[in-house]
Amino acid sequence: MARASRRERRQKQGHGVVPQLPWQRVDNPYPPMEPLSADQVEAIHQASLNILENLGIEVMGEDVQALFRDAGASVDESSGIVRLDRGIVEQALATAPSSFTLTPRNLDHAITVGGNRINFGFVSGAPNVHDRINGRRAGNMADFEKLMKFAQSFNCVHFMGNQVAPPIELPPNNRHLDTYRAALTLTDKVISGVPIGGGRIRDLIEMVAIVRGLPAAALQDDPSVIGNININSPRKLDLEMAHGAMMLARHNQATIVTPFTLMGAMTPVTMAAALAQQNAEALLGITLTQLVRPGAPVVYGAFTSNVDMRSGAPTFGTPENAKANMAGAQLARRYGLPHRTSACNASNTVDAQAAYETEMALTGAVFGHGNLIYHAVGWLEGGLVASFEKIVLDVELVQHMMGLLSPIDTSDAALGLDAIADVAPGGHFFGSPHTMARYDTAFYQPILSDWRNSQAWEEAGGQSATERATAVWQQVLAGYQQPAMDPARVEALDAYIRLRREEIGDGEP
């Protein structure tokens, strides 16, 4: 009877496929690791204001420039350079919320962004897909749907980022409609918009409202959508990114402003200079959202790493990357903003390098107190690949981290003085009632680790963790359960897509 009960619990947690931790909200109980002193944070802050006031940032688009000009900024019309007085920045920061909630169609999967809450995100933006059975291929719709099924099935994934692996066989001007539909029907978690211009964001707002059974205007009081914009480092805000951020802010949806800075290539080679430039670029984007709509939810994003100075190739999961993850979080706290960071690696395959670089970046992200950890599950090859095996490996890493963050029980029952008294010196606790009552819950149960001895492991096939991961993702796909949706909402969603496809035609959304 006890064995049947344990099996039922594992099937409930793992959708009947793999044992895993249940969906849960993760809070960080530890104080943040801070590589910068308070004086150093202030020095970076002042250097950033110097950049904004004296050097400025190129901002594309007359309408975007006009927003800054109307707020009192200096705009050089010939170069597009916008110089922001610190008072404009401070006023914007005063209106930005310190935390907010994003609500998907499944209300139980709502996420809080801010405070000590950690949300782990799925790989996004990878142009290619890979698994050990089918090899490396360009992003396509069939694989996109599989990736959405993984994101839904693994409980430690809290949200999806911008198009996991864009399907290149579909027209680029309207394929966001297809990927949005897949994400909204195959998952019931928070998804991200494609903030390349305002049209793609407006479409997601309308589509999310349909699946939630609400008018789009209602989402302004109950945000559902998030979008990540990148500053084109060094010091340039592209028109499409700006318009994406403006559309999000206008509808009171959440914008993540993330400079993508690589030390030695897109910033000076020193950490201090990189953080100062990152900070200036982030502050400009954050200010933009508050000029559009004071109080609109916004996240301080940071994506700073270094390059290989021998080849110029981007690197991730380095000591510098981990320190930048933690330092970025310090700057976000300086402004009272939620923080977006990442857990990336530069390995070309799912191997030891992929594991230790991801773990290094993940450690910096978690113990720096990141609130949104992008690419925590599935990122490979410096972001060029969404890997099925890496998804499984990363779920294991993230669940280990969740176990590390869970509190220690020191209740009378947990202290177990009666159990200690019941076992004579030199005995063992394997058959103790105290042990048996906690047999299935005492320790973290991995989905990938193999703890058999060498002989038993070899007799079972002697598979590496990567090889075992292939079997796991196949099990997950076979056992995927699509979250139910009212058929009338699906019909309304498809009707909207047909209408928008006709409206877009060969043009941009």
pLDDT digits 0-9 by tens, 234-276: 999 999 999 999 999 999 999 999 999 999 999 999 999 999 9
The pLDDT value recorded for residue 17 is 75
Contacts of 196 (CB under 8 A, 6+ apart): 240, 241, 244
What domain count does the chain have?
A: 2
* CA 28 – CA 291 distance, rounded (Å): 32
* CA 134 – CA 477 distance, rounded (Å): 15
How do 254-263 and 303-307 pair as beta strands?
A: parallel
- Residue 39: how many other CB atoms lie within 10 Å: 8
Residue 398 and residue 414 in one domain: no
The pLDDT value recorded for residue 16 is 52
What does residue 274 show for φ and ψ, rounded to 5 degrees?
A: -60, -45
User: Quick one: pLDDT band at residue 9, thresholds 50, 70, 90?
Assistant: very low
In Å, how far are 191, 227, 316, 357 from 380, measured between CA atoms? 21, 22, 10, 10
The DSSP symbol for 55 reads I
Q: What percent of the chain has pLDDT over 90?
A: 95
Please write the tens of the pLDDT for every residue from 309-325.
999 999 999 999 999 99
Residue 295 and residue 421 in one domain: no
Q: Is the pLDDT of residue 162 over 80?
A: yes
Q: How large is the average pLDDT for residues 476-489?
A: 97
Q: What percent of the chain has pLDDT over 70?
A: 97
Residue 414 and residue 373 in one domain: no
Residue 235 and residue 248 in one domain: yes
* CA 271 – CA 138 distance, rounded (Å): 35
Residue 163 and residue 137 in one domain: yes
The pLDDT value recorded for residue 383 is 97
User: Quick one: pLDDT band at residue 13, thresholds 50, 70, 90?
Assistant: very low
Residue 417 and residue 481 in one domain: no
The pLDDT value recorded for residue 329 is 98
Q: How large is the average pLDDT for residues 51-74?
A: 98
Q: How large is the average pLDDT for residues 361-387?
A: 98
The pLDDT value recorded for residue 438 is 93
Q: How large is the average pLDDT for residues 196-225?
A: 98
Residue 205 and residue 156 in one domain: yes
Contacts of 50 (CB under 8 A, 6+ apart): none
* CA 386 – CA 123 distance, rounded (Å): 7
Contact (CB, 8 A) for 150 and 183: no
Q: Where are the alpha helices (DSSP H) in 313-464?
A: 319-334, 352-367, 388-405, 412-415, 417-422, 433-437, 454-459
Q: Is the pLDDT of residue 339 over 50?
A: yes
Q: Is the pLDDT of residue 117 over 90?
A: yes
- Cα-Cα-Cα-Cα dihedral sign, residues 425, 428, 433, 437: positive
Residue 471 and residue 415 in one domain: no
Residue 468 and residue 429 in one domain: no
Please write the tens of the pLDDT for every residue from 29-41.
999 999 999 999 9
The pLDDT value recorded for residue 449 is 95
Residue 195 and residue 211 in one domain: yes
The pLDDT value recorded for residue 45 is 98
Q: How large is the average pLDDT for residues 467-491?
A: 98
SS3 content of the chain, % helix, strand, coil (to 5): 45, 15, 40
Q: How large is the average pLDDT for residues 412-441?
A: 95
In Å, how far are 10, 22, 138, 472 from 477, measured between CA atoms? 17, 18, 20, 9
User: Quick one: pLDDT band at residue 2, thresholds 50, 70, 90?
Assistant: very low
Q: How large is the average pLDDT for residues 358-374?
A: 98
| Structural domain boundaries enclosing 17 | 1-405+446-509
Q: How large is the average pLDDT for residues 94-105?
A: 98
Residue 380 and residue 481 in one domain: yes
Q: To the nearest whole number, what is the mean pLDDT of the chain?
A: 95
Contacts 24+ apart (CB under 8 A), 211-216: 211/105, 211/184, 211/185, 211/485, 211/489, 211/493, 212/103, 212/104, 212/105, 213/486, 213/489, 216/251
Q: How large is the average pLDDT for residues 378-403?
A: 98
Q: How large is the average pLDDT for residues 285-305?
A: 98
Q: Which of 8-12, 50-54, 369-373 has the lowest mean pLDDT?
A: 8-12
Please write the tens of the pLDDT for every residue from 390-399.
999 999 999 9
Domain holding 218: CATH number? Answer: 3.20.20.480
More confident residue, 17 or 125: 125
- Cα-Cα-Cα-Cα dihedral sign, residues 28, 34, 39, 45: negative
The DSSP symbol for 267 reads B
Residue 483 and residue 415 in one domain: no
User: Quick one: pLDDT band at residue 440, thresholds 50, 70, 90?
Assistant: confident
Q: How large is the average pLDDT for residues 69-77?
A: 97
| Model pTM score | 0.95
Q: Is the pLDDT of residue 286 over 50?
A: yes
Q: How large is the average pLDDT for residues 195-218?
A: 98
Tokens of 454: 């060498």
User: Quick one: pLDDT band at residue 14, thresholds 50, 70, 90?
Assistant: very low
Q: Where are the alpha helices (DSSP H) in 223-292?
A: 239-250, 271-292
What does residue 240 show for φ and ψ, rounded to 5 degrees?
A: -65, -40
Residue with tokens 């930005």: 96
The pLDDT value recorded for residue 10 is 44
Please report, for the chain, how many H helices and E strands are present, in that order. 18, 19
Contact (CB, 8 A) for 306 and 323: no
